[in-house]
Amino acid sequence: MSEALIAHLRDLASGFGALSARGMFGGHGVYHDGLMIALIIDEAVYLKVDTQTAPRFRAAGCEPFVYTRQRKPIELSFWSVPESAMDSPQDMKPWLVLAYQAALRKANAAPPKKAGVKKTAAKKTTAKKTMTKKAAAKKASRRVPAAHTERE
């Protein structure tokens, strides 16, 4: 049935632009211009949201996609689509535009800085230098002829 839903979503996007779909997470990721803007899972369509667009989805009665991991609910940044949007390209287009804008903002956002990355790199560099010094000392001790060490 997902193939039929993907075809229906492509028809609804006729005034928006081309969509492609790839299987993932037991469902399908839906892409526009290389950005994932929708998730189709359990025969439902969920569109990409962010802090700017989620209030519009909430106001329209949409709900986030939630799955359970280690007995804890995990909410993704994909929300259901208003029922009316599934009926016509004119009703779907504004929701697809919002999803695409959210995906663009996510793609253009600076990656979050990870704490401790520099420390980890410094530790690795120090460890590498220590290993290099030990290896060099070991090689040097092998190079010294036995007769040379006896004279000193």
Tell me the sheet residues that pair with 24: 27
Residue 110 DSSP class: P
CA dihedral 123, 126, 127, 129 (to 10 degrees): 160
- Cα separation, 80 vs 101, whole angstroms: 16
pLDDT at 144: 41
Q: What percent of the chain has a predicted confidence (pLDDT) above 90?
A: 61
- Using pLDDT thresholds of 50, 70 and 90, give the confidence band for residue 53: very high
Choose between 110 and 147: higher pLDDT: 110
Cα-only R_g, the chain: 28
- Using pLDDT thresholds of 50, 70 and 90, give the confidence band for residue 148: very low
- Using pLDDT thresholds of 50, 70 and 90, give the confidence band for residue 131: low
User: What are the pLDDT digits (tens) for 80-117?
Assistant: 999 999 999 999 999 999 999 999 999 998 887 776 65
pLDDT at 77: 94
Report the predicted TM-score, pTM, of the whole model to 2 decimal places.
Answer: 0.71
Distances from the Cα of 50 to the Cαs of 102, 106, 107, in angstroms? 6, 8, 12
Helix boundaries (H) for 39-151: 54-59, 89-108, 117-143, 146-151
DSSP H or E stretch at residue 11: helix 2-12
